[in-house]
Chain A
Amino acid sequence: MCGWFWTRVRGCSEAPRHEQEHRAKSGRDGAASAWGARAFAFLVAVLLGSTLSASAAGPAVILATTTSTQDTGLLDVLVPAFERASGYQVKTIAVGTGAALAMGERGDADVLLVHAPSAEEAYMAKGRGLARWLVMHNGFIIVGPAGDPAKVAGVGNAVDAFKRIAASGATFISRGDDSGTNSKELEIWRAVGITPQGAWYVKTGSGMADTLHVASQKAAYTLTDDGTFLSQRATLSLVPVLQGVPDLLNVYHVILVKPLPGRVGNLAGGRAFADYVVSPTGQRVIATFGQDKYGRPLFTPDAKPVH
């Protein structure tokens, strides 16, 4: 079809190379948008799938626990072992003991694994737990600079050690975050009879590993749990100055949360998890954890049901 102006310009035939270029370009555009549509559909499917994949046994079990159990890596072993054995799906939310207990109070978790006995007892007294069982323990350690300026080493208990640190004015790093370790630290200060404050008392508001690094940088003292210190030791310039004494015991309990009426939850799954960690199988997992990496286990299992 050649209109009036086409005849004016020396015939109708066109340079073919322009045509081919034009066709190739639109072909690529078409392919790109088809690929994009497929990718989008795939994404939606993946997301929907992962959302709707509540296990056959009901909604997932929400385990609220402390950062130390997660940071040591124990949960990376214990939880999958439980999931395989029971078929439940567990959502591990590691927030720190204070937050975990708060979650239990609100009914936002099914089971708790925490290590702040006095706070836990208060929690149970409020009637928010159906059961509370001892699971395992390890020790807290007081660590400090190699030179030990406050002369803590050799003192027989934590209270005296803290007294010496406060008296010497050496820097002490506190987590200040309502965690189990922080609770223990504050308990010891209460036993000493002072409220620590001043330039020498630094609060990081951070997890254990971060706090250890801060202490290492500042050549200061701090209270840490055994497991985290072991795992961080290589990168720190701190040494243990007091450990193995009775008042530095770090005890972990599992608490089965009492469900609140009208809420989504998985009591059966929570109970199954609590049963698992105190069962011989679970205890064996705990007993052997850390062996291959650190040469000795990080936790000592002690389960016997306590009400």
Chain B
Amino acid sequence: MAVTAARLAVRRGTFWLEVDELFADASGTALVGPNGAGKTTVLLALQGLLPHAGSVARPGRCAGVFAQPAFLRGSPRWNLATVLRSTLGMDERTADRGAAAALRLVGLEEATHGDARKLSSGERQRLALARALVLEPEALFLDEPFANVDAHGRCMLREVVNDYVARSGCTLVLATQTLADVAALCDHVVLLDRGRVVESLGAARLAESAQPYLRALVSEGGPGLMPGRTRPNLRLMPGEGLEP
């Protein structure tokens, strides 16, 4: 099911955001723009966490990843299991098994025990992603989800998200500063600046845009990196795959 917004207006303190319309589905919509443009605000409003004017529609089961993930007092595994039990009403055994599997998925097997709050920033982002995916949501709202993860991990995690979206048809809304994220996961790009939508276009046409921010975004990726969903050089190295 898609995520849509119509005549969305949000006020956060002195910051005003106005989005005429927004549409996202499994093809992936990226929100890009400079800091303070309103990317996080849009994500929060779409998830119903901020009071807003206008209408927002989203599926029943959503999951969000915040830029600064926060966890409960307990092990990573316990954190995931608790979310499974609380949201999906799973029993303990199944929730625990699901938690363990999700940790393996994002490469956090070693960090199963110990306090989740003591993880490094990269590990926290992996855990936050695992926490969102473990629910098998119908819509994913990701806020700069890979910013602190190492390069190898970033590739792996993008692949994980990609895979999930492909199999489940989950809607993806992704706020990011990184072209590689856009390239791997999104077919549409929405450029925000100072609370307004400046441009909305297909990812394949990013290179043609006149917008300075988008040009900067594209040039950062380096030559040969063209937006598009399935890119050979974004797959994992042979032998590292999670695919059997």
Within 8 Å by CB of B133, from A5, A9, A12, A26, lies A5
Question: With contacts A3-B136, A4-B136, A4-B164 known, is A9 near B242, CB below 8 A?
Answer: yes
Contacts A8-B105, A9-B105: A3 and B96 contacting too (C-beta < 8 A)?
Answer: no
Q: Are B167 and A4 in contact (CB under 8 A)?
A: yes
Which residues from chain B contact A18 at a C-beta distance below 8 Å?
77, 96, 100, 112
8 Å CB interface, B105-134 against A:
105, 112, 133-134
User: In the bound complex, do residue B244 and residue A8 qualify as a contact, i.e. CB atoms below 8 Å apart?
Assistant: yes
Decide: B105 and A5 in contact? CB cutoff 8 A: yes
A31 at the B interface (CB under 8 A): no
| Chain A residues, Cβ within 8 Å of B78 | 22
Q: Within the complex, what minimum Cβ distance (angstroms) separates B182 from chain A?
A: 24
Asked if A23 is an interface residue, CB under 8 A from chain B, the answer is yes
Q: How far, in Å, is A66 (CB) from chain B's closest CB?
A: 57
A5 and B97 contact, CB distance less than 8 A: no
The answer to whether A6 and B167 have CB atoms under 8 Å apart is no
**How distant is the Cα of A199 from the Cα of B78 in the complex, in angstroms?**
73
Interface status of A1 (Cβ within 8 A of chain B): yes
A14 contacts the other chain (CB 8 A): yes
B: contact size bracket: 20 to 34
A292 CB within 8 Å of chain B: no
Tell me, yes or no, whether B94 is within 8 Å of chain A by CB: yes
Q: Inside 8 A of B112's CB, which chain A residues have their CB?
A: 18
In the bound complex, CA of A14 to CA of B133 (Å): 19
- Contact indicator per residue, chain A 1-21, by CB within 8 Å of chain B (1) or not (0): 101111011101010001100
- Contact among B94, B96, B101, B167 for A9, CB-based, below 8 A: B101
B93:A5 contact, CB within 8 angstroms: no
Kindly state the separation between the CA atoms of A12 and B134 in the bound complex, as whole angstroms.
Answer: 14
Known: A9-B242, A14-B96, A22-B96. A4 touches B105 (CB 8 A): no
CA distance A26 to B164 in the complex (A): 33
B21 interface hit (Cβ, 8 Å):
no
Q: Is B150 an interface residue (CB 8 A)?
A: no
Q: Which of A1-60 contact B (CB under 8 A)?
A: 1, 3-6, 8-10, 12, 14, 18-19, 22-23, 26
Interface flag for B243 (CB, 8 Å): yes
- Determine the chain A residues whose CB is within 8 A of the CB of B243 once the complex forms: 8
Q: Is the beta-carbon distance between B242 and A8 smaller than 8 angstroms?
A: yes
A26 to B82, CA, bound (A): 13
Instruction: Name the one of B92, B94, B101, B244 contacting A5, with C-beta atoms under 8 angstroms.
Output: B101
Name which residue of chain A comes closest to B104, CB basis. A9
Nearest-CB distance from B134 to chain A (Å)? 8
Tell me if B92 and A6 are in contact (CB < 8 A). no
Residue pair A23, B168 in contact (C-beta under 8 Å): no
**A224, chain B: closest CB distance, angstroms:** 62
Contact of A14 with B105 in the complex, beta carbons under 8 Å: no
B105–A3 CB distance below 8 A: no
Docked pose: A295 CA to B243 CA in angstroms: 98
B residues within 8 Å of A by Cβ? 77-78, 92-94, 96-98, 100-102, 104-105, 112, 133-134, 136, 164, 167-168, 242-244
Q: List 14 A-B contacts (CB under 8 A).
A: A5-B105, A5-B134, A5-B164, A6-B101, A8-B244, A9-B101, A9-B104, A9-B242, A10-B244, A12-B101, A18-B77, A18-B112, A19-B93, A22-B92
Further contacts, 20 of them, CB under 8 A, given A9-B101, A23-B92: A1-B94, A3-B98, A3-B136, A4-B136, A4-B164, A5-B102, A6-B97, A6-B101, A8-B105, A8-B242, A8-B243, A9-B104, A10-B244, A14-B96, A14-B97, A18-B77, A18-B96, A18-B100, A18-B112, A22-B92
Q: Which 9 residue pairs of A and B lie closest in terms of their CB atoms, listed nearest first? A: A14-B97, A6-B101, A9-B104, A5-B105, A9-B101, A4-B167, A8-B242, A3-B136, A14-B100
